[in-house]
């Protein structure tokens, strides 16, 4: 997806009222450092419906990736990392798995079988000393108990499904023999091999050129529709969000600051941070835009070890009011049904706009 293209928001595709396959409540992730405990994720609660795509949006260091890594137990073990809260994931067979606090043996059954991850850079995710076929077969044999021959046949089907030509020959290739786009397709094949309930895509198109990005996004949407799979899509590209997401969760400094359906977020953003992100998107189709300097949110994301008092976005916010915005951390309020915003002045800002 070209980040310089004008944003065209598509309506949500997930069925309203569909069952939740993931319920996260009060998730906290903290790391032990030499300077003390560092809180990367604070009091995060959300849900994902079956067949839905939830986009996690925010600048670097907002807590998007750590949220998902914490859910799947991919952070360092205790006491180096402490995870609290609750996260219940429903498998295709109807079984419910509690992800937070589960033993590693249970999490190994969940990872790859019930929930899978596509990481940002496939070259660092794939093992360079094993063939593509061996790496796809590993998941099939561990989670589904397939024989070596059956797993290899299924691996060829998966490569064909993700659009790799001559799949049987490609099974014998090593990752360095494939292009970046093909490696990412292999990662997707591994992720969907056991037909998980939930797929987490952590900026899967960032390292790819624009044409391949569009192909990968189209492929993910196609596979999601075929398998009725839910997806958490982590990105900072709002153009991608407008194209692929049903709902959006905007994160800043480890907290959710706004959450709504994708159309509401782009047409009526309530939080000043969400507005800043949308206004920062270049628009080359407008003659006026060519004469106007590109908008940028002033300042930087605060140090996780030294958050400002009250609203963490306060020092960068043009609507900041001393004594009010810095008095306490704002609560998530219902701006309207299914639209949450963490700002004490959101109704005033909306009225002024």
For residue 243, give the CATH number of its domain. 3.40.50.300
pLDDT digit string (tens) for 60-92? Answer: 889 999 999 999 999 999 889 999 999 999 998
- Counting as low any pLDDT under 50, the low residues of the chain are 1-6, 11-12, 14-17
C-alpha count within 13 angstroms, C-beta hemisphere, residue 228 = 9
pLDDT digit string (tens) for 26-73? Answer: 999 999 988 888 999 999 999 999 999 999 999 988 999 999 999 999
Q: What is the DSSP string of 220-269?
A: HHHHHHHHT-EEEEEES-HHHHHHH-SEEEEEETTEEEEEEEHHHHHHS-
Q: Is 21 inside any structural domain?
A: yes
Q: Name the residue range of residue 134's domain.
A: 115-195
Cα–Cα dist 192/203, whole Å: 17
pLDDT for res 4:
35
Are residues 240 and 160 both part of a single domain? Answer: no
Are residues 260 and 243 both part of a single domain? Answer: yes
pLDDT for res 294:
79
Q: Is 221 inside any structural domain?
A: no
Q: Is 30 inside any structural domain?
A: yes
Are residues 204 and 187 both part of a single domain? Answer: no
Which whole-number Å values give the CA distances from 188 to 103, 168, 194, 292, in the listed order? 26, 17, 11, 40
Q: Is 321 inside any structural domain?
A: yes
Which whole-number Å values give the CA distances from 136 to 33, 215, 265, in the listed order? 36, 21, 38
pLDDT digit string (tens) for 228-241? Answer: 899 999 998 888 89
pLDDT for res 12:
46
Per the CB < 8 A criterion, the answer to whether 219 and 204 are in contact is: no
Per the CB < 8 A criterion, the answer to whether 28 and 37 are in contact is: no
Q: Is 170 inside any structural domain?
A: yes
Are residues 244 and 329 both part of a single domain? Answer: yes
Per the CB < 8 A criterion, the answer to whether 75 and 14 are in contact is: no
Are residues 204 and 81 both part of a single domain? Answer: yes
Are residues 65 and 204 both part of a single domain? Answer: yes
Are residues 186 and 284 both part of a single domain? Answer: no
Q: Tell me which of 171, 195, 219 is where a domain ends.
A: 195
Per the CB < 8 A criterion, the answer to whether 247 and 262 are in contact is: yes
Residue with tokens 């032990």: 32
Are residues 4 and 53 both part of a single domain? Answer: yes
Cα–Cα dist 307/305, whole Å: 6
Are residues 235 and 326 both part of a single domain? Answer: yes
Are residues 82 and 170 both part of a single domain? Answer: no
Q: Is 220 inside any structural domain?
A: no
Are residues 19 and 61 both part of a single domain? Answer: yes
The number of distinct structural domains making up the chain is 2
Cα–Cα dist 265/274, whole Å: 8
Are residues 182 and 276 both part of a single domain? Answer: no
pLDDT for res 281:
83
- What are residue 37's phi and psi, to 5 degrees? -75, 130
């Amino acid at each position: 997806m070209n980040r310089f293209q004008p944003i065209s928001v598509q309506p949500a595709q997930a069925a309203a009222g569909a069952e939740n396959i993931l319920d996260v409540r009060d998730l906290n992730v903290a790391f032990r450092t030499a300077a003390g405990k560092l809180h990367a994720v604070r009091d995060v609660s959300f849900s994902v419906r079956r067949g839905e795509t939830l986009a996690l949006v925010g600048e670097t260091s907002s807590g998007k990736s750590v949220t998902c890594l914490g859910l799947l137990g991919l952070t360092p073990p205790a006491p180096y990392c402490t995870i609290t809260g609750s996260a219940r994931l429903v498998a295709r067979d109807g079984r419910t798995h509690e992800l937070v606090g589960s033993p590693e043996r249970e999490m190994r059954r969940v990872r790859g079988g019930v929930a899978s991850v596509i990481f940002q850079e496939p070259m660092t995710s794939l093992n360079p000393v094993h063939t593509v076929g061996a790496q796809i077969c590993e998941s099939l044999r561990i989670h589904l108990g397939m024989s070596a021959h059956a797993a290899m046949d299924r691996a060829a089907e998966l490569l064909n499904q993700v659009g790799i030509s001559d799949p049987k020959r490609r099974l014998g290739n090593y990752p360095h023999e494939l292009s970046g786009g093909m490696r990412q397709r292999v990662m997707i094949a591994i992720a969907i091999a056991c037909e998980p309930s939930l797929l987490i895509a952590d900026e899967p198109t960032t390292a790819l050129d624009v044409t391949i990005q569009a192909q990968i996004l189209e492929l993910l949407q196609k596979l999601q529709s075929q398998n009725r799979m839910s997806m958490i899509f982590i990105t900072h590209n709002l153009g991608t969000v407008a194209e692929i997401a049903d709902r959006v969760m905007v994160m800043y400094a480890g907290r959710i600051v706004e959450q709504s359906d994708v159309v509401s977020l782009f047409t009526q953003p309530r939080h000043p941070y969400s507005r800043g992100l949308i206004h920062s998107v270049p628009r080359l189709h407008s003659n006026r835009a060519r004469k106007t300097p590109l908008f940028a949110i002033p300042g930087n994301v605060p140090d996780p070890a030294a958050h400002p008092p009250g609203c963490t976005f306060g020092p960068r916010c043009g609507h900041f009011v001393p004594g009010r915005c810095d008095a306490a951390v704002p609560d998530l309020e219902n701006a309207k049904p299914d639209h949450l915003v963490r700002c004490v002045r959101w109704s005033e800002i909306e009225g002024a706009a």
